Amino acid sequence: MEPIISAAELADVLDGTAILDVRYQQGGPPGREAYAEGHLPGARYVDLDADLAGRPGPNGRHPLPDPGDFAAAMRRAGVDRDRDVVVYDDWNGWGAARAWWLLRWAGHERVRVLDGGLAAWKAAGEPLSTEEPAPGGGDFTAAPGAMPTLDADQAAGLARRGVLLDARAGERYRGETEPIDAVAGHIPGALNAPTTANVAADGRLLAPADLSARFGALGAHSGAEVGVYCGSGVSAAHEILALASAGIPASLYVGSWSAWISDPARPVATGDTPDRAARSDG
């Protein structure tokens, strides 16, 4: 199944699809209030921090949720194992991609992201609703492990032998600024590939051929070993979505930078060149 769906395609199958509204903005308030003001008909709200992540700590700001807790949240959202699911948000696709990736990781095979999110739905002239469906009685159960993940040691090894992409903005990768985490820089050997470059001005993913060319220039192709990280495993999920659209499988370092720097013995690199200015605080 393709990882994205257009607004026109979704409109044709809306009634038979579980719709999840995953409004999330980095550093912003939860999106429930915006959801209440208008959402896709039949959509149920999913809170990224509460439903799509575990407690922050040494494993990062958005570690994997407990599989049982995640499955329960998805059942409340009306998710069935054999029913199509479409996820969307109203920012830059990061929240929707996190939900897509987690459902795929937990074994759901029929999940797609609304390309362009809520803005694309509105631009297509499709209706919104303020009616909130009752919590659903879905039958989804989690079978974790269907999407590959990396821990810190595996990410470090991949940066040396394969392709490890850092999906954050260039200034964070280079260590010029770090607005969220305590240490600036990147994993030595990682290549910078900001998630924002995967989308057009209207928020839709670039065409698969364009994405393939972009990632190919970084050495990421269908035959390569590819991994992705970001600050906390959210925007990196969107990068994996873009890679999947281009036919390139990739592993996610879920803890990402926020988990990497939890151990001061791990090396940190700065600058444009992947291995330049590597240092160890240990």
- Summarised one tens digit per residue, pLDDT across range 91-131 is 899 999 999 999 999 999 999 999 999 999 999 999 999 99
Fold equal for 4-123 and 149-260: yes
Q: What is the overall mean pLDDT for the chain?
A: 95
Question: CB-based contacts of 216: which residues, under 8 Å, 6+ apart?
Answer: none
Residue 275's pLDDT band (boundaries 50, 70, 90)? low
Q: Where are the domains of the chain?
A: 4-123, 149-260
Mean pLDDT of 173-197: 97
Question: CB-based contacts of 86: which residues, under 8 Å, 6+ apart?
Answer: 5, 10, 17, 18, 19, 20, 111, 112, 113, 114
On the question of pLDDT at 278 being above 70, the answer is no
d(CA 159, CA 165): 8
What 8-state DSSP symbol labels residue 198? Answer: G
Q: Give the pLDDT score at 280.
A: 37
Q: Give the pLDDT score at 133.
A: 94
23 is catalytic: no
Sheet of 44-45: strand order equals 4-5, 111-114, 85-88, 18-21, 44-45
Count of other CB atoms within 10 angstroms of residue 213: 12
SS3 227: strand
Q: Give the pLDDT score at 281.
A: 36
Strands 191-192 and 163-166, sheet pairing = parallel
SS3 33: helix
Which residue's structure tokens are 């409004």?
A: 23
4-123 CATH, one of 3.40.250.10, 3.30.2320.80, 2.30.40.10, 1.20.120.520: 3.40.250.10
Task: Tell me the pLDDT tens digit for each residue of 50-102.
Answer: 999 999 999 999 999 999 999 999 999 999 999 999 999 998 999 999 999 99
CATH class name, domain 149-260: alpha beta
On the question of pLDDT at 276 being above 60, the answer is no
Task: Tell me the pLDDT tens digit for each residue of 150-176.
Answer: 999 999 999 999 999 999 999 999 999
On the question of pLDDT at 219 being above 90, the answer is yes
Among candidate residues 20, 106, 230, 242, the one labeled active-site is 230
d(CA 231, CA 167): 8
Task: Tell me the pLDDT tens digit for each residue of 231-250.
Answer: 999 999 999 999 999 999 99
What 8-state DSSP symbol labels residue 259? Answer: H
Question: CB-based contacts of 264: which residues, under 8 Å, 6+ apart?
Answer: 281, 282
Check residues 208 and 278 and name the one with the higher pLDDT.
Answer: 208
Q: Give the pLDDT score at 79.
A: 98
Residue 27's pLDDT band (boundaries 50, 70, 90)? confident
Tell me the chain's radius of gyration from C-alpha atoms. Answer: 18
Q: Give the pLDDT score at 279.
A: 33
